[in-house]
Amino acid sequence: MPIRSALLAGLALAAALAAPARAAPDPLAPTGRIDAPPAAASPTPPMGWNPWNAFRTDVDEAKIRSSAEALVRTGLAAKGYRFVNIDDGWVLRRLADGRLQIRTSMFPSAATAPAATGSFRPFVGYIHRLGLKAGLYTDIGRNTCAQRWDNNKSPNHPIGSVAEREVGSYGHAAADMRTIFADWGFDYIKIDACGVADYGADSPVVRDGSYRAFPPLIRRGDVPGSDPAEVERLYADLGAAIRRWGGPNAVYSICDWGEADAAAWAPRHGNLWRTSPDIEFSWASMLANMDSALDGALYAGPGHWNDPDMLAIGHAPFDAAHLTEARAHFTMWAIMAAPLLLGFDLRHAPPALLDLVGNAEVIAVDQDAAGNQGVPYRSGATLAVVKRLAAPGARAVALLNRSDRPALARVDWRQLGLAPGSTARVRDLWARRDRTPARDAIALRLPPHGAALLRVTGRPAPGSDAYLDAMPARVTVAADGLSRQTALPLGRFAARIGMTPDDAPLPPGPDGAAHGIGLFANSRLALRAEGGFGRFVATPLVRPGGGAVTFRIYADRRLVAERRIAPGAPAPALEAAIGGAKVVELVAAADAPGDGRPPMVGWVGARLLR
C-alpha cells in the first residue's frame, strides 16, 4: 500500500475507534409511524399456486404453465388465485461472476440471451399474458432447503463445484433481487432459511464434503441458541433490495418457519411470514400449523400476514375423498386471513375440490377489506373464531371440531359483539344458503373433524366496535418486551387479545367479556388511527410478580397521557385526547428492566373513540 494511502487508512481507523459507538434505537421511543411493509403489495392475503406440495423439485416449465392455464380455465384466477410461484430447484449453478444460471432443462424458454445465464423473461411474460403474476424462490443462506433435505431424492440439484452450488442469496442480496425483479420481472419472492439453519459442521451434507459449513443462525426450536438479530438483518437487507428493484408492489414471503423470534420482527419486513414448520399431509399437522398462527391477530393486517404454510388440500387426508377435513382446513385458513396458496396438481383436479377452493363466499372472508384476523375462543375440543368484517355489523364465525368424535360448538353474542337479545341474520357459507335467524347464541353439532363457516349480521352492542379487539388489523406490535433469552416458544405470541401471554384472561368489561390487549412490559404498540378518532381509553394493569410499570400514550409522537402503576394495584381508566392523530402509540415501561422476563401488563378495555 502506498505511504499516503496507509497514512489515510490509519487516520480513518483511529477516528473510527475514537468516535462514540452509535446507540441502538430505543424500542420504547415513539416514532409516529407504522413500521410494516407497503400495504400496496398485499392489501389482502396473497392467493395462488405453488408446485412444491405437488411435485417438490420434480417440476418443469410445462407443468407450471399448464397449472397456470388451469387457474384461468377453471375460473380460480378470476376468484383471486393470481400468483404462480416457482419453488426450489430452478437454479443450475452460480457462476464465478456471481450471476445465477437457470436450469434450462427445466425451463427451456429461459435458453435465451444472455446465453451464460438464460432469462426468465419469456416465462414471466407468458404468466403475465394470462393475467397472472409470477413468483420465484431463494434462501437467505448459501444453500437451499432441497439441497439439504432432498439431497438423495431430488432430480434437480445445482451442479458444479461447492462454490457453484451455493445458489442461495447470502452475500448476493442486492444483485440477486435486481436480477429477479428488474431483469426477469417477477412479482413475488419466497425466501427460505435452511441455508442458515441446516448446514452446521455436523450436518451430513457438510461432513461428506458436499457443502461448506455455515454456523447456524437458527437452531430449530431453540430461540436462545439462535441469533434472531442477525436473521432479521439478513431478511431486512433482502427486503430493502426487493423494494428497490421490485417496487412497492413486489410481494415478499419470509419463510423461517416462525423460528428466531420471528413474530417480533418478521411483520415489519415481510408481506407474509411463516409461523410454522412445513405442513404435512395429516390432520395433526394441519392443526399444529393452524395453532401456530391462531393467536397472532395483532401481528397481521394489510401488507403483512401470518402464514401457517401452503394449503394441503388435494392430498389425503384433505383430498376429494375427505371433503370434511378439506373444508375444515380451508375454513380455518380463511378465518385467520392466511395466504391461500394451493399445492396440488391442478391439471387433474377433481370438480369437488375445485368447487371447495373456489367457494367465493369463503374466499371473501379471507379477502375481507378490513384485514382483521379472527380471534379464537376455545372450549374443550371445539373452537370458535370470530372475525370482524368491513361491512357494518358483519362478522364471520368459524366453528371447528378438532376431535375424532361429534361435538357441539358454540358462539355467543358477547364474543360476536352483538347487542344482547337482538336477532341476527345467519348465512351458511359452505351450504351457500341462509339459516334461521339466531338470537344470543349459535350452537351447531359438528361431525369429527367438522367445521362450519357462518356470516352473521346483526346490531352491534353499544361501544363494541370501538374496542381494539374489533380492529386488530390497526395494531402493530412495535416492541414486544422480550429478549433472546426470554422469548416465547414457537406458536406463542407476546401480545394477545383478551389475555396475557400466559393465557390468563384480562378482567371482564361491563358486557362480561375480557376486552383489551395483554402483553409484557417494555413494549410499544402502534395503532393506525388515520385521523379518524378523538380519544383513547384503557385501564392499565400490572400483574403481580414484577415491579411498577409506567404507561404512556402518544399521539403522533406527542405525549398525551402517563401513569405509573404498581403490580396488582387497582387503577382508574387512563383517557387521552388524541386529536385526530394518524398514529397512536401505547408504551408500557418497567421501572427496572433487568435481565429477566418483564412483568405482564394489560391495556384493559382498550378502545378508540370517535
Residues whose CB falls within 8 Å of the CB of residue 558, separated by 6 or more in sequence, listed in order: 581
C-alpha cell at 23: 446507540
Q: Which residues does 236 contact at the CB level (< 8 Å), separation at least 6?
A: 268, 269
CATH topology for the 86-274 domain: TIM Barrel (3.20.20)
Of 264, 259, 271, whose CA–CA distance to 48 is shortest? 271
HSE value, Cβ hemisphere, 13 Å, CA-based, for 471: 19
DSSP 151: T
Residue 105 grid cell: 432443462
Helical packing angle, 283-294 and 323-335, nearest 10°: 10
How does strand 407-412 pair with strand 441-446?
antiparallel
Cis amide bond preceding 317, omega within 30: yes
Place of cell 442458515: 196
Catalytic residue among 58, 60, 237, 278: 278
Measured distance CA(269)–CA(273) in Å, rounded: 9
Q: What are phi and psi of 597, to 5 degrees?
A: -70, 130
Q: Whole-angstrom Cα distance, residue 572 to residue 591?
A: 20
**Residue 479 per-residue DSSP state:** E
DSSP helix/strand/coil, 305: strand
Establish whether 183 is a catalytic residue.
no
pLDDT, tens only, 392-444: 999 999 999 999 999 999 999 999 999 999 999 999 999 999 999 999 999 99
Q: pLDDT below 50 — which residues of the chain?
A: 1-22
Distance, CA of 144 to CA of 141 (rounded, Å): 7
- Could you read off the pLDDT of 335-358 as tens digits, one per residue? 999 999 999 999 999 999 999 999
Using CA atoms, how far apart are residues 341 and 344, in angstroms rounded to an integer?
Answer: 10
Per the residue annotation, which of 150, 176, 187, 192 is the catalytic one? 192
Tell me the CATH class for 465-609.
mainly beta
Residue 127's alpha-carbon distances to 70, 89, 131, 167, in angstroms, are 12, 19, 7, 24
Q: CB-based burial of residue 310 (10 Å sphere; 0-12 exposed, 13-18 middle, 19+ buried)?
A: buried
Q: Residue type for 221, please? A: G
Q: What is the pLDDT of residue 395?
A: 98
CA distance 313 to 100: 33
Q: Residue ranges per domain, the chain? A: 86-274, 375-460, 465-609
* CA 150 – CA 513 distance, rounded (Å): 49
Partner residues linked to 418 by β-bridges: 460
CA pair distance 45, 301, nearest whole angstrom? 9
User: What three-state secondary structure class fits 437?
Assistant: strand
Going along 380-482, which residue ranges are E strands?
A: 382-388, 394-401, 407-412, 423-428, 433-439, 441-446, 451-457, 475-480
- What is the rounded average pLDDT for all residues in the chain? 93
> According to the model, what pLDDT value does residue 23 have?
57
Phi, psi dihedrals of residue 47, rounded to the nearest 5°: -130, 145
pLDDT computed for residue 546 by the predictor: 79
What dotted CATH number matches 375-460?
Answer: 2.60.40.1180
Burial of 266 (0-12, 13-18, 19+ CB in 10 A): buried
Quick count: other Cβ atoms within 10 Å of Cβ 481? 27
Any catalytic annotation for residue 26? no
Whole-number pLDDT of residue 593: 58
Which residues have C-beta within 8 Å of that of residue 19, sequence separation ≥ 6? none
Q: Is 5 exposed, middle or buried (0-12, 13-18, 19+ CB in 10 A)?
A: exposed
Written in H, E and C, the secondary structure of 129-144 is HCCCEEEEEEECCCCC
C-alpha cell at 459: 346490531
pLDDT at res. 595: 54
